[in-house]
Amino acid sequence: MYKTDVVKINKIPVTSMERTIIDLLKEGASISFILKIIETAKHYNKTISTTKLKKLSKIFRTKTKIKQLFEAWIE
């Protein structure tokens, strides 16, 4: 597992919201599913950094999927 955007909480590795989104996209999750996650995060006043998503998408080679997500997100 890449250690990018992973922290340990009680010795358990935990990914950030942005990293979780990237991992889900890499595994083939649909854009609509990711949008539901974003809406749920918004409901709980959690922020998702588009800057961090862009950075991680370069590292994990998901730039095309992030672009599709951003296009759907602003609709």
Query: In the prediction, which pLDDT does 74 show?
Result: 86
Domain assignment of residue 13, yes or no: yes
Domain assignment of residue 29, yes or no: yes
Q: Which domain holds residue 11?
A: 6-73
Total domains in the fold of the chain: 1
Domain assignment of residue 61, yes or no: yes
The 10s digit of each residue's pLDDT in 25-59 is 999 999 999 999 999 999 999 999 999 999 999 99
Query: In the prediction, which pLDDT does 3 show?
Result: 78
Domain assignment of residue 53, yes or no: yes
Domain assignment of residue 1, yes or no: no
Domain assignment of residue 46, yes or no: yes
The 10s digit of each residue's pLDDT in 54-71 is 999 999 999 999 999 999
Residue 11 has pLDDT above 80, yes or no: yes
Cα–Cα distance for residue pair 14/68, rounded to 1 Å: 26
pTM here is 0.88
Cα–Cα distance for residue pair 2/41, rounded to 1 Å: 24
Cα 17 versus chain centre, distance? 5
Domain assignment of residue 42, yes or no: yes
